A and B are shown apart, each in its own frame.
Chain A
Amino acid sequence: MARKAAPEINAGSMADIAFLLLIFFLVTTTMDVDTGITRKLPPPVEKPDEDVDVKERNVLKVLLNSRNDLMVDGKRMDISLLKDKTKEFMALHPDNPDYPEVTTRYIEELGRDVPVSKGIISLKNDRGTSYNMYIQVQNELARAFNEMKDEKSMELFGMKYTALLDKDKIKAINKIIPVRVSEAEPEDIGGN
């Protein structure tokens, strides 16, 4: 007796169905990866009048006015020089009163004391500053800190900061070179 063979499913239209789905996903997909500069905002101050006392020599004042001019440390400066100025300011100059103070800090990950600069970058912008310019400045400051981290990492571990995998090493570098960019409380400084 001949057995009834199960009828085969016609798979000819499978490709069409798959094509349909494919085109749907092709159209709806967005492949942009979100990138940006990550920053941490300070918590709101409880008493606005109370100023944190920071020594003058420890602060590098970076000002941006409404015409996108940059003033660093009381002098007008081109943005291309900002990175080197920041690096120079944050570098360790132990006995020079023109540069920030240097303290030693015990780094657990390394098990010894390491000199750390007490310098702070104070960034202040006007309400009329363009966002483009502001991001350029933020970028230059980030670049200065990243380069310093890379250099420190090369010195201590023989590889770049971005190549470090060990979490303790990353922590140690972040403690030795803290990114200290403070943004002043906004106030209107002329212009719109």
Chain B
Amino acid sequence: MSRFKAKKTKESPGINTSSLPDIIFMLLFFFMVSTTMREVTVRVKQKMPEATEIQKLERKSLVSFIYIGEPKNSKLYGTNARIQLNDVFANVDDIQEFVAQERQARDEADRKLITTSLKVDGDTKMGIVTDVKQELRKAGAFKINYSTRKKIDKN
């Protein structure tokens, strides 16, 4: 009778963790594939306006960004809206050179397809945006994208 009671099975068995690396690797690969590294530190305020008729920007490697807005560090740079190209503040006159640089960095075949994404803070006045657009026209960068967030439709 008591022969089968000899084993004590009160302790709960340990969880098998041998497949843990596989699970972690799976997550790792997901993040590795979906990641895009941040290349620039944005130094201006960026509260994008909302819109409903938006399109996704495709082929991120063909997009160059221009940031416009009030500097985050307003004690140092004041509260007037500024243009940021790459990592530094710039003037309107620098845009043509910036466009030329961006073109140089791409393959010859892709140069026509470059889109300039205007990341403009919603509280900015249109004056500076108009100036930037005029410079882009002069530089021949006609494809632009007003960066906006998706508005949640209430209807």
> CB within 8 Å of B: which residues of A?
11, 14-15, 18-19, 21-22, 25-26, 28-31, 33-44, 64, 125-132, 134-136, 138-139, 142-143, 146, 186, 192
Contacts and interface: CB of A to CB of B under 8 A. Distances in A.
30 contacts: A14-B21, A15-B20, A18-B24, A18-B25, A25-B35, A29-B34, A30-B35, A34-B60, A34-B63, A35-B148, A37-B54, A38-B115, A41-B133, A41-B136, A41-B141, A41-B144, A125-B130, A127-B125, A127-B126, A128-B127, A129-B125, A130-B122, A130-B123, A130-B126, A131-B121, A132-B122, A139-B53, A142-B53, A186-B134, A192-B127
Contacts of B86: none
B122 to A, nearest CB: 4
B21 A15 contact: yes
A120 B150 CA distance: 27
Interface of B: 17, 20-21, 24-25, 27-28, 31-32, 34-38, 49, 51-57, 60, 63, 115, 117-118, 120-127, 129-130, 133-134, 136-138, 140-150
Contact of B126 (A29, A41, A134, A142): A134
Instruction: Identify which of B21, B115, B142 gathers the most chain A CB atoms within 10 Å of its CB.
Output: B21
Nearest to B30: A25
Contacts of B32: 25
Contacts of A129: 125-126
B68 to A, nearest CB: 8
Dominant secondary structure of chain A at its interface with chain B: mixed
A61 to B, nearest CB: 17
Given A25-B28, A44-B137, A39 B144 contact: yes
A35 B145 CA distance: 8
Nearest to B33: A25
Contacts of B34: 29, 31
A37 B118 CA distance: 10
A134 B35 CA distance: 32
